[in-house]
Amino acid sequence: MTSVSPEPGSTVDGFLIEERIHQGGMATLLNVSRAGSTMPMVMKLPKIGEGEDPAAIVSFEMEQMIMPRLSGLHVPAFVAAGDFAVQPYIVMERIAGKALLSRLPELPLPYADAVDIAARIATALADLHRQHVIHHDIKPSNIMFRPSGEAVVLDYGLACSDLLPDLMQEEFRLPFGTAPYMAPERLLGVRDDPRSDLFALGVLLYFFTTGVRPFGETETMYGMRRRLWRDPAPPRKLKPDYPLWLQEIVLRCLEIEPAWRHPTAAQLVFDLTHPAEVKLTARSEKLKRDPWSTALRRRFNPDLKQPRPKASLADELASAPIIAVAIDLAEGSTALNEELRAVAERTLATLPSARLACLNVLKLGRITIDKTLDEHGHNKHVDRLVALRNWAQPLKLADDRLTAHVLEAIDPAAAILDFVHASHVNHILIGARRNSALRKLLGSVSAKVAAEAPCTVTVVRRAAAEKPTRATVENEEVS
């Protein structure tokens, strides 16, 4: 292995080193360029000299394995890697946007700003988890934002993938990470739970809205282990104006047991972007920490120390999808809506962590001025929300698994598709009425949704009149 000087003017495999931009404890970052390429690039070199931490080498190996497998707007584009036999390095896209670290002097941020940041990071985490990767080091210095607004997650040295060997787990017994953001289960050696990333995001959201980290700055193992039994001070104790729905989300992210947090990052995005639909529990109104008697019971409760059943990351995400059901409340839709409910019930029966979003579109006129009240003086929007709740009542879903949404739009199909994209919906259930010459000419809402949705679509259609008790179900996987 050759020794490479990080000085400007050096070259490594055709990459020209322009300037050193960061010297960390485990790696050095350099701005680089290459003839024929206009992409801004950065090279990462591990610290491998005499006396350097062996974990730096192992984490760099993990990053070299993981980064080529990642794609999309939420990760830096991978360019090249160098072998340890000659010169180890990773070259990746240099993100042109702003670093989240630059916002620290402004803390605490306005609630709306902090929630927007957290939602974008949670969206990035949902994308990472879908690609079988858990990051394990979510913190401000590892987040940047593209000029177009998407959050980009950096530094995969502590990450793991259920498709690859976990070298950090195999070679080291002590947990590696950033102490203030480390999830309790990480201290017990658990590295295969994506909800560890949600805990770290909860720490970040708490910090950005209060200006205080929930577990302080301690980096001793004993100090970190306290979070196995001790909850943080509720944000409302620090800021009396803290929104109830936001405290509900933050404290749910910071639950000691992973099973008590949001099942997936996508469901966390849903709550952050639909605050009116967040189901409030006792968490939302807490003004002080749990009593010491509760903390002591947790401390000597062995449940968290028990190894949980192994499951692939893909299986865990698949068990907690967001399902949207589009319901037509017009006269004459009762029978079809009953079939939709039957299909929803069968689907939800196998998915105990799934969330159901009931949708209806209040169609607006293109030219006319639409009235808020109907001919009986009732608010149309409110009446439809009530009707959606009534439709879902026989499903007997817990409050935190059910939401209702009335979308006001000129184009119902476009409104449904916009909701699906914004809310990271995994599966759409939608009814289709009998064919008619006009529907064939203009196209139906269900046909457009099935053709353009980024997820699985189940179209439920009433059978012919002579067989009124049956419905046909058509599944379309739309990529």
Cis previous bond, 232, omega within 30: no
Query: What pLDDT, on a 0 to 100 scale, did the predictor assign at position 306?
Result: 54
Domain residue ranges in the chain: 11-93, 98-313, 321-477
| CB contact at 8 A, 415 and 368 | no
Between 214 and 293, the higher pLDDT residue: 214
Q: Give 152: exposed, middle or buried? Use CB within 10 Å, 0-12, 13-18, 19+.
A: buried
Domain 11-93 matching CATH 3.30.200.20: the answer reads yes
What letter does residue 371 receive in the DSSP assignment?
P
Question: What confidence tier does 469 reach under pLDDT thresholds 50, 70, 90?
Answer: very low
d(CA 263, CA 349): 17
pLDDT value of position 2: 47
| Topology adopted by domain 321-477 | Rossmann fold (3.40.50)
- Average pLDDT of the segment spanning 47-72: 84
More confident residue, 473 or 358: 358
Q: Do domains 11-93 and 321-477 have the same CATH topology?
A: no
Secondary structure tally for the chain: helices H, strands E: 15, 17
Confidence band for 169, pLDDT divided at 50, 70 and 90 = confident
Q: What is the pLDDT of residue 241?
A: 97
Per-residue pLDDT, 22: 84
4-20: pLDDT as tens digits: 556 888 899 999 999 99
Greater pLDDT, 370 or 223: 223
pLDDT digits (tens, 9 = 90+) for 199-251: 999 999 999 999 999 998 766 777 788 888 889 999 999 999 999 999 999 99
CATH 1.10.510.10 for domain 98-313: yes
CB 126: neighbour CB atoms within 10 A? 22
- Taking the C-alpha atoms of residue 119 and residue 74, their distance in angstroms, rounded to an integer, is 13
